[in-house]
Chains A and B, each alone.
Chain A
Amino acid sequence: MSKLNEIADRAAGITPPSLAGAVRGLSDKSIAWIFIAPTIILLLAINIFPLIWTIYLSLTNYRANRPNAELKFVGTEHYEKILTNPDIWAAMQSTAHFVVWTIVLQTVIGFTLAWLVDRKFRGHGFWTTVILLPMMLSPAVVGNFWKFLYQPQIGLFNYIISFFTGAEPSSFEMLGSVQLAPWAIVIVDTWMWTPYVMLICLAGLRSIPDYIYEAAEVDRASNWRQFWSITIPMCLPFIMLAVLFRGIENFKMFDMVNLLTGGGPGSTTEVASITLKREAFEKWRTGFSSAFAIILFVTVFGLANIYVKALNKVKSR
């Protein structure tokens, strides 16, 4: 201990008096601020400033391809145009269809798979790895790969449907039909991301202590009753978390849908992010697209907040 004190005294001795004085004069709060300042500055620079800047741009006629043009303040004109534009509402409807159906299917299938894998049958580790494979692929690869599968003349998907239904393989077009294309993108997203939901549900199932089931057995509760009274309620926070993650992800889905259909046929699968990309980087309506981005942000942020409150209520039960 005396050796340590000696080292500390020597270090203090060689510290320049001005610095030592300055540090001595700082409160704990000030030192804490010094430590967190870089993080706050970084957060302001890469999150808060762009958000404020986007809000500012959304109130102007700015176009990124004409930086020298006169900048005019247009107030809430872009917001009014967006909220009264039928094409934007059509894009929001496409997005809602995609989000709702992918969440429903992924949750049902994901939970079922998790429940089956949790039975710990022979080779369950191997099958878990196989099930997880799709989510490890890049969305670009998945998009191109499914585009071939859906090809009406040579695509495997059409041949499988043909095998089961007897319909001619080239008699239907998954990506070219107005009726089928919205389902085609739902199928691909479900194929790719169900394993993710399954993983979260599996974590939920494995977190339920065995003694609860043992107590239920003692009380002669049937398997059905155990499932609805123990498994589902105790797994619900995990399921809700998976729904939240997939909901946010799919609300801003772009890459996979863009590769599969490009928003077509017509505008049938034009989800909000594709419309946003077209407005921002093809038409170069930066002010307009900034307003649209803010509307989407507020929508996702608002819905996510309401949902998180519901999630917390479920957890506290």
Chain B
Amino acid sequence: MKKFLAGVTALAATAMIAAAPTPSAAQSKTITLCWAAWDPANALVELSKDFTTKTGIGMKFEFVPWPNFADRMLNELNSKGKLCDLLIGDSQWIGGSAENGHYVKLNDFFGKEGIKMEDFAPATVYAYSTWPKGTPNYWALPAMGDANGWFYRKDWFEKPELKKEFKDKYGFELAPPKTQTELQKIAEFFQGRTVDGQKVYGAAIFTERGSEGITMGATSSLYPFGFKYEKTPGKYDMEGAVNSADAVKGLEFYKSLYKCCTPPGYTDSYMGEGLDAFKSGQVAMMMNWFAFMPGMAKDEKVGSKTGFFVNPGEKVAASTLGGQGISVVSYSPNRDEALAYIKWFANPDVQKKWWSLGGYSCHNSVLNDPSFKTSQPFAAQFLEAMGGVQDFWQEPAYASLLQAMQKRLHDYVVADKGTAKEALDGLIKDWTETFKEEGKL
């Protein structure tokens, strides 16, 4: 009996030792970060190696192409999936994700770890972290600043014969435009022209129907012309704001830009199609996110020939906001490790490296550094753009609001249905119905 007991004890002890967490077992823990599949995601993979080296926590990545990103990730959150421990979700998702309990509220964690929101650019904190908007309730750490900007063929703009012809025709210099009107004139000038033996077109702009493309593109004209979502912020009084005379002019302008100056077949184009057109030398200018500028500047074929400019103003200076905050998914079984990543990511040194690798840091220590503006050919433009960004609704019902705008804009701009005023009136009708369903009107 004694032998039996001794044997059982030895067996139990062995089992307990085997089951106990050892340092090596803790180090082998892995967390998954979900984001869109694009250039900055590659930079983040590189950056995150330092996190693994420092903490021993492994990193896995789930990157989804932009057109499917919202569908895929919102399905994941709605089904309370455990795929993502960390999610760099779009700014518009924050309302829904906060109210539906998908994201962990980070206020206590920030307080405990000494992470201050004052250390980040105010526009990014407002857009990427807070819900309700502007209140000190934080659901994400600003991770990737972004706005819609412009890429242009510097080498074409510098051709003396083209400069002269342009000046003679339009009466101002062929240079990065200062207004939307100038932008269209430049696009018109290049449309159908032969440059370096190839037929080229004016501009690649966003016209995509399925996800968010045409909304992000058209708002880059609507905002500078004076479009507003509400007359009084937070009151949902859209009549006279969404369909104001300025908004109508802005939408008419976007349609005229699409009609006059885009390459044939640009009826359903977003980031990828724009990049293809620009890199293949088809267009003189391309609307696209700042996030692609580091990659473009390094491009072997067109990098040295490419210049960048901020979205031109018209009545006001304004750019469409992109970018995202990083959040901890509340269904994650690895919450502590995910929070450890946020803490590490908020470190100013990490933020500096993030910018150097091609990510857009929102940390003041990076943005306010005297050398920042000259650190990259698009850094000064980025600062300027972030000073005037405007974002789409961030309401929990943002998907319905976005789909309504996609439909109304595509119907008017691409399918030639109705007038700009009718499109915006219809949009108010759709949005009013959504807000009524939401109990906000």
**B256 contacts the other chain (Cβ, under 8 Å)?**
no
Of B75, B100, B101, B265, the contact of A173 (CB 8 Å cutoff): B265
Q: What number of residue pairs across chains A and B have CB atoms under 8 A from each other?
A: 81
Of B267, B399, B417, the contact of A176 (CB 8 Å cutoff): B267
Given known pairs A264-B209, A266-B410, the reply for A281 and B268 (CB within 8 Å) is: no
C-alpha spacing A299/B210, complex, angstroms: 27
Chain A 67-96 near chain B by CB (<8 Å), digits 1 or 0: 010000000000000000001000000000
Contacts of A266 in B (CB 8 A): 209, 407, 410-412, 414-415, 417
**B71 contacts the other chain (Cβ, under 8 Å)?**
yes
Of A64, A87, A285, the contact of B400 (CB 8 Å cutoff): A285
C-alpha spacing A283/B208, complex, angstroms: 18
Chain B 398-430 near chain A by CB (<8 Å), digits 1 or 0: 011001000100111011110000000000000
Return A274 CB to nearest CB of chain B, in Å.
9
Are the C-beta atoms of A265 and B400 separated by less than 8 Å?
Answer: no
Given known pairs A65-B74, A265-B414, A267-B411, the reply for A173 and B267 (CB within 8 Å) is: yes
Most B CB within 10 A of own CB, among A64, A68, A262, A264: A264
Are the C-beta atoms of A282 and B96 separated by less than 8 Å?
Answer: no
Q: For A274, give the chain B residue with the smallest CB separation.
A: B210
Q: Looking at chain A's contact residues, is the secondary structure mostly helix, strand, loop, or mixed?
A: loop
**B142 contacts the other chain (Cβ, under 8 Å)?**
no
Return A248 CB to nearest CB of chain B, in Å.
26
Contacts of B70 in A (CB 8 A): 282
**A263 contacts the other chain (Cβ, under 8 Å)?**
yes
Return B343 CB to nearest CB of chain A, in Å.
30
**B89 contacts the other chain (Cβ, under 8 Å)?**
no
Contacts of B78 in A (CB 8 A): 64-65, 284
C-alpha spacing A68/B101, complex, angstroms: 10
**A175 contacts the other chain (Cβ, under 8 Å)?**
yes
**A153 contacts the other chain (Cβ, under 8 Å)?**
yes
**B264 contacts the other chain (Cβ, under 8 Å)?**
yes
**B322 contacts the other chain (Cβ, under 8 Å)?**
no
Of B100, B403, B414, B416, the contact of A65 (CB 8 Å cutoff): B100
C-alpha spacing A283/B75, complex, angstroms: 12
**A250 contacts the other chain (Cβ, under 8 Å)?**
no
C-alpha spacing A264/B209, complex, angstroms: 7
Are the C-beta atoms of A283 and B415 separated by less than 8 Å?
Answer: no
C-alpha spacing A254/B91, complex, angstroms: 30
Give residues 355-378 of B contacting A (CB, 8 Å): none
**B149 contacts the other chain (Cβ, under 8 Å)?**
no
**B263 contacts the other chain (Cβ, under 8 Å)?**
yes
Given known pairs A264-B209, A264-B410, A266-B414, the reply for A282 and B268 (CB within 8 Å) is: no
Are the C-beta atoms of B209 and A262 separated by less than 8 Å?
Answer: yes
**A178 contacts the other chain (Cβ, under 8 Å)?**
yes
C-alpha spacing A176/B410, complex, angstroms: 11
Chain A 243-269 near chain B by CB (<8 Å), digits 1 or 0: 000000000000000000111111110
**A66 contacts the other chain (Cβ, under 8 Å)?**
yes
Return A74 CB to nearest CB of chain B, in Å.
10
Contacts of B407 in A (CB 8 A): 87, 266-267
Contacts of A151 in B (CB 8 A): 265
C-alpha spacing A173/B259, complex, angstroms: 13
Q: For B407, give the chain A residue with the smallest CB separation.
A: A267
Q: For B413, give the chain A residue with the smallest CB separation.
A: A266
Return B328 CB to nearest CB of chain A, in Å.
19
**A152 contacts the other chain (Cβ, under 8 Å)?**
yes
Give residues 42-75 of B contacting A (CB, 8 Å): 70-71, 74-75
Contacts of B210 in A (CB 8 A): 262-263
C-alpha spacing A153/B199, complex, angstroms: 11
Chain B 263-298 near chain A by CB (<8 Å), digits 1 or 0: 111111000000000000000000000000000000
Contacts of B403 in A (CB 8 A): 278, 282-283
Contacts of B209 in A (CB 8 A): 262-266
Are the C-beta atoms of A170 and B265 separated by less than 8 Å?
Answer: yes
Give residues 79-113 of B contacting A (CB, 8 Å): 96, 100-101
C-alpha spacing A177/B439, complex, angstroms: 39
Return B97 CB to nearest CB of chain A, in Å.
10
C-alpha spacing A151/B437, complex, angstroms: 41
Are the C-beta atoms of B415 and A264 separated by less than 8 Å?
Answer: yes
Contacts of A175 in B (CB 8 A): 265, 267-268
C-alpha spacing A266/B255, complex, angstroms: 13
C-alpha spacing A61/B397, complex, angstroms: 14
Contacts of B268 in A (CB 8 A): 175-176, 261-262, 264-265
Are the C-beta atoms of A284 and B414 separated by less than 8 Å?
Answer: no
Are the C-beta atoms of A283 and B414 separated by less than 8 Å?
Answer: no
C-alpha spacing A188/B403, complex, angstroms: 27
> Can you pick out 17 interface pairs between chain A and chain B where the beta carbons lie within 8 Å of each other?
A64-B78, A65-B100, A171-B264, A175-B265, A176-B268, A178-B415, A262-B208, A262-B268, A264-B268, A264-B414, A265-B209, A266-B414, A267-B411, A282-B71, A282-B403, A283-B400, A284-B400
Inter-chain pairs besides A153-B263, A170-B265, 17 sampled, C-beta below 8 Å: A64-B78, A65-B96, A68-B100, A153-B265, A173-B264, A173-B267, A176-B265, A178-B416, A262-B209, A264-B268, A265-B267, A266-B410, A267-B407, A278-B403, A282-B399, A282-B403, A283-B403
Which 7 A-B residue pairings sit nearest by Cβ, starting from the closest?
A: A266-B415, A176-B267, A266-B411, A152-B265, A170-B264, A264-B209, A283-B400
